[in-house]
Amino acid sequence: MTSSRPPARETRPATPRVREATQVRPTTEGWTQQKDAEGRPLLQFASPKRGKPPVHLADLTPAERIAKVKELGMPGFRAKQLEKHYFTHWTHDPADMTDLPAAGREEFVHGMLPPLLTEVRRLETDRGDTIKFLWKLHDGALVESVLMRYPGRITLCVSSQAGCGMNCPFCATGQAGLTRNMSAAEIIEQVVRANRLIADGGLGDPRRVGHKGERVTNIVFMGMGEPLANYARVMQAVRVMVDKEHGLGMSARGITVSTVGLVPAITKLANEDIPVTFALSLHAPDDELRDELIPVNSRWKVDEALDAARAYFDKTGRRVSIEYALIKDMNDHAWRADLLAEKLNARGRGWVHVNPIPLNPTPGSIWTASERDVQDEFVRRLNDAGIPTTLRDTRGKEIDGACGQLVATEDDERVAAETPLEA
């Protein structure tokens, strides 16, 4: 309890909170950031050239699927049968597909549903309610996804790129650089594999009974990669996720696309007519700090990113989410909470909420999460200013599966090298 009267022996005024004056700059960290020729943090927008993953049913539009089925010498209606096996029964095993003619079945199924992900590792925490998968792609690139059971929903955090080109210094994925874009089907396959695991009873404490027919209800594009830097493939994956007739039939609202702030792509997304939930990784309300913390701020400034976020709300009617990793003495100052609230309120009311994320540790990082009272004060100020603000219940820290922690370790690489690709 605090009392307004100082204790009897107190003779000096209380020490002012040094923290208010402390400003840790991103440049004081102990990581080595990749730089471009001009000495600025390297930004990689284009995917390095690598062997393309095999084309898969989920990469194609319904019409293209029929065309490909015919190319493989089958009547067009077989496309629908494959869609059903893959999107409803979550299988690509020819042995499960007894409605297809036995002659040439293996070859046909392999041609339409080639194997894309080989499971290398699976780590569990929260008594089995959180599972991190490490996948190897056809060319040996490694990606991760994290499956989380919450009361009333099951969320899958998917990767959209192997690595990431955005170079954010507090994110383990960013520090590793971009390996390549993932195909739409490689993104979708993460969901299909998760659904299969859930159907097999693999998610959660086996003593608690799961519901029959349970599956992934929510997708967050918050695994490895910057989804809007891989725009066309991510959008194809989203279309497949929401397609009720030819896809997974999920609700668009349950899909969250999170971006570091690629403004032209945000505008494009708003015009897609698929009302996904949109999240902007802001992390600082002032350009002075964001320039150092989020290298892409050199292209699109705080105000431009916020204007694009507000325009997303205008276009879709979907409330936007602002992500803010709280880093001790770097971006957690009370004045920054006030400035953030001011900038959001200047763009209207009721269009946005803030989702602070206590910083998760990354390898070699000397930064830490904000102290509890500072974090609470930050949240309180925003709420008091009329901005709904809720801390993210970040999961999977124990298995390096939380926000910003997804990166293949040397040990992952070793195990992956010994794991043969799924045939």
Q: Which residues are catalytic?
A: 144, 403
* Neighbouring C-beta atoms of residue 304, cutoff 10 Å: 14
Binding string, 362-381, against ligand SAH, x = CB under 6 A? x-------------------
Sign of CA dihedral 35, 36, 41, 43: negative
Residue 384 beta carbon to ligand SAH: minimum distance, rounded to whole angstroms: 24
By the rule CB under 6 A, 145 interacts with ligand SAH: no
By the rule CB under 6 A, 58 interacts with ligand SAH: no
Q: Which is nearer to ligand SAH, 309 or 357 (CB)?
A: 357
Site for ligand SAH in 225-244 (CB under 6 A): 226
* Neighbouring C-beta atoms of residue 311, cutoff 10 Å: 17
By the rule CB under 6 A, 82 interacts with ligand SAH: no
Distance, in Å, from the CA atom of 150 to the CA atom of 154, rounded to the nearest integer, reads 6
Which listed range, 35-43, 182-190, 357-365, 383-391, lies at the site for ligand SAH (CB under 6 A)? 357-365
Number of Cα atoms under 13 Å in the Cβ half of residue 109: 24
Give the residue, chosen from 325, 330, 344, 408, that forms a contact with ligand SAH under the rule CB under 6 A: 325
Alpha helices in 86-138 (DSSP H): 105-112
Which listed range, 101-109, 116-124, 187-195, 252-260, lies at the site for ligand SAH (CB under 6 A)? 252-260
Residue 124 beta carbon to ligand SAH: minimum distance, rounded to whole angstroms: 21
Distance, in Å, from the CA atom of 112 to the CA atom of 41, rounded to the nearest integer, reads 41
Residue 43 beta carbon to ligand SAH: minimum distance, rounded to whole angstroms: 12
Question: What is the phi-psi region of residue 138: left when phi exceeds 0, alpha when psi lies from -120 to 50, beta otherwise?
Answer: alpha
Distance, in Å, from the CA atom of 56 to the CA atom of 53, rounded to the nearest integer, reads 9
**Looking at the DSSP assignment, which residues form a beta bridge with residue 41?**
35
Distance, in Å, from the CA atom of 145 to the CA atom of 221, rounded to the nearest integer, reads 10
- 218-221 and 255-259 as β-strands: parallel, antiparallel, unpaired? parallel
- 178-181 and 277-281 as β-strands: parallel, antiparallel, unpaired? unpaired
Q: Which is nearer to ligand SAH, 76 or 363 (CB)?
A: 363
Q: Which stretches of 218-276 are assigned E, i.e. beta strand?
A: 218-221, 255-259
Question: What is the phi-psi region of residue 320: left when phi exceeds 0, alpha when psi lies from -120 to 50, beta otherwise?
Answer: beta
Residue 173 beta carbon to ligand SAH: minimum distance, rounded to whole angstroms: 7
Identify whether the C-beta of residue 299 lies closer than 8 Å to the C-beta of residue 167: no
By the rule CB under 6 A, 258 interacts with ligand SAH: yes
Binding string, 381-410, against ligand SAH, x = CB under 6 A? ----------------------xx------
Give the residue, chosen from 108, 170, 313, 378, that forms a contact with ligand SAH under the rule CB under 6 A: 170
How many residues make contact with ligand SAH (CB under 6 A)?
Answer: 16
Which listed range, 7-15, 31-39, 107-115, 356-364, lies at the site for ligand SAH (CB under 6 A)? 356-364
Residue 84 beta carbon to ligand SAH: minimum distance, rounded to whole angstroms: 32
Distances in Å between the alpha carbon of 326 and those of 181, 370, 377, 392?
A: 29, 6, 12, 11
Q: Which is nearer to ligand SAH, 41 or 404 (CB)?
A: 404
Give the residue, chosen from 130, 195, 256, 360, that forms a contact with ligand SAH under the rule CB under 6 A: 360
By the rule CB under 6 A, 323 interacts with ligand SAH: yes
Q: Which is nearer to ligand SAH, 222 or 416 (CB)?
A: 222
Binding site residues, ligand SAH, CB under 6 A: 170-171, 222, 226, 258-260, 281, 323, 325, 357, 359-360, 362, 403-404
